[in-house]
Amino acid sequence: MAKIDEDALAEAYNRALALEKAGDIDAAVKAYEEVLAIDPEDHGGASVRIASLGRGEAPPKAPDAYVETLFDQHAEAFEDILVEQLGYAVPVMVRQRMQALGLGPFKRMLDLGCGTGLTGGTLRDMVDDITGIDISENMVEIAHEKDLYETLYVAEVEDFLEDNDDEPFDLVTATDVLPYLGALEPLFFGAAENMVEGGIFAFSSETLPADILAGRPYMVGPHQRFAHSEAYVRERLAATGFEIVEISEINVRMQDGNPTPGHLVIARLKG
């Protein structure tokens, strides 16, 4: 990997942020493009910020280097920020809906984007064996310390799903994964390839009002997170062999004091 000029990168990135904050979008985009030229792997997520400013096409997903860096940096404070400050309770919602629908217990669960183990811990007593995957080594270390998972891997979820040859799972969860993905086909197809017939796929997504999405299947929202239309989620699930058990409208988390609208989806892999 080519050595990055850290000083030049920091200068360009800070300048881009300042220009964005000042409302000079053209200059901010130009500065973010400088950031990408210095750091093509995009550890700072400049490409996602450009898309969030409404310029250029939304990338198919957030850059791996950006997601890994973001979560490595926030691993220690992750649960406090997400649960206590942002009111994130999606794992509890998943448990409540599965119990209400009479789903489970399960033999083998795959927790995609497991983070520090919020979903694994919430569903632990409903599952015999849990495998967790996360791109952030620091997150996985914290999850490991909790002794919730039989198996843990540091990996990008789409790569793992493509390469995995372990025995299939009857429950796959992805409770804060879609906000870092645009195109959903690789995730949904990969999940299907790693599941038993009749297995359950439970995940959350964020969305935006129809007038903002303006017919797009997905876009990068104002907080650099991907939002998906319900129609696109439904279409991709059907195309990859799933039937929807339930889609619920939820508040995924608070952001700047405002709720983040989204969906909690429970789907079943058809025979």
Token pair 């926030």 is found at 74
The CATH 3.40.50.150 domain(s) of the chain lie at 78-269
Which option is the CATH number for 78-269: 3.40.50.720, 3.90.78.10, 3.40.50.150, 3.40.50.970? 3.40.50.150
Average confidence (pLDDT) over 171-179: 97
Task: For 220-236, write each residue's pLDDT tens digit.
Answer: 998 999 999 999 999 99
Residue 2: the pLDDT is: 64
Burial (Cβ within 10 Å: 0-12, 13-18, ≥19) of residue 123: buried
Residue 31: the pLDDT is: 97
Triad 178, 130, 187: Cα angle to 5°? 25
Domain 6-74 has CATH 1.25.40: yes
The CATH 1.25.40 domain(s) of the chain lie at 6-74
C-alpha 54/C-alpha 78 separation (Å) is: 28
Rounded to two decimals, the pTM is: 0.95
Q: With 70 as the cut, is the pLDDT of residue 1 above it?
A: no
Task: For 59-76, write each residue's pLDDT tens digit.
Answer: 999 999 999 999 999 999
Strand order in the sheet with 169-174: 151-154, 127-134, 106-112, 169-174, 195-206, 258-269, 242-255
